Amino acid sequence: MNDALFTTYDLGGLTLRNRIVMAPLTRNRANLDGDTPSDLTARYYAQRAGAGLIISEGCQISLQGKGYYRTPGIFTKAQITAWKRVTDAVHASGGHIFCQLWHVGRVSHTMFQPGGEQPVAPSAIKADAQTYGPQGMMAVTMPRHLEAQEMPRLFKDFEHAAYCAREAGFDGVEIHAANGYLIDQFLRESSNQRDDQYGGSKENRVRMFREVVDAITCVWSPDRVGFRISPFSHAGGIEVSEPMQTFLAVARSAANAGLAYMHVVEGETGGDRTMERHHIDDLRSEFGGTYMANNGYDRDMASRALDDGADLICFGRPFIANPDLPERLRHGAELAEVDESTLYGGGAEGYIDYPFWQPQAEGAA
């Protein structure tokens, strides 16, 4: 079998030990006091540092950017201090970790917003989505239109969060522009019905992404900034009339900025991989840089994708139950299954207590 998955890769001057990336995975275990990652979080990520690269769970860039219960932020001194313990633990284990910068936009609830205000969105259109609250899943709140004069502050929030991520010791950052969250909402006509410079034409709808990139690359070198998109997903009920034209424009904008990688959810987020293969080729050609593939990959699929020109492969759910996933993949070992009951919220159970693979248990040398 092709062993390219286990070869090193240079990403912005970082030598990744393999082509395996731990995808961003929301686990809803941040401390209630200040949305800081706990000591358990440091252990959780350190256990998984065998990945060539870890992308952190989504970290809200501001209180306004929060949409889910017990998700961590990256905008306060306390959060910087707590995340520094995480990055130190990952680095001590020989790994690399990027921080995913996240603003959920309309996928939120008034209970998470400062002063109980409405969430913000490109337009006042409610998402077809639920969020996770103290009592479980619940409907999102109707958002309000984000005023044009508020946009500079929003870009400052992204810049500040990028600065906080650097102070916390991350190796880089990923812009979350996927899965129906704020940047994705600006890209799609169904959620963006603005008539100003951020709406209408695809160039205007991409403007928000471009200005976020500009804000973040004031803090980070572009070769330490990646971005995630989900061109084929309908998360939260988002639609766009010409998806490839829109996302080719996104890829072109990112290429012009010299960003480190393009992370693509291939198909529906966490679901059907239905898509046209040539669309992936077109996106890769337009971006021209490191291509990170994601969505339902196993070892065989990963090897084929690398043969077809992908550079890095993201694994999500398998990393939850298999902290040593790269070793299991290398040896063709059986993968443990995720305990669905401990996926979101809780403490150590289902978080840091999944066992590591024991070769002797399978008769391996």
Active site residues: 181
Phi and psi torsions of 263, nearest 5°: -105, 115
Amino acid in position 67: G
Amino acid in position 189: E
Residues 241/189, Cβ–Cβ less than 8 Å: yes
Q: What is the DSSP letter of 278?
A: H
Distance between CA atoms of 353 and 349, rounded to whole angstroms? 6
Alpha-carbon radius of gyration of the chain: 19
* Count of Cβ atoms closer than 10 Å to residue 365 Cβ: 4
The residues with which 265 forms a beta bridge, in sequence order, are 294
Distance between CA atoms of 88 and 135, rounded to whole angstroms? 33
Is residue 102 exposed (0-12), middle (13-18) or buried (19+ Cβ within 10 Å)? buried
End-to-end CA distance of the chain, in Å?
19
Distance between CA atoms of 332 and 326, rounded to whole angstroms? 10
Q: How many CA atoms lie within 13 A of 169 on its CB side?
A: 17
Q: Is 237 helix (H, G, I), strand (E, B) or coil?
A: helix
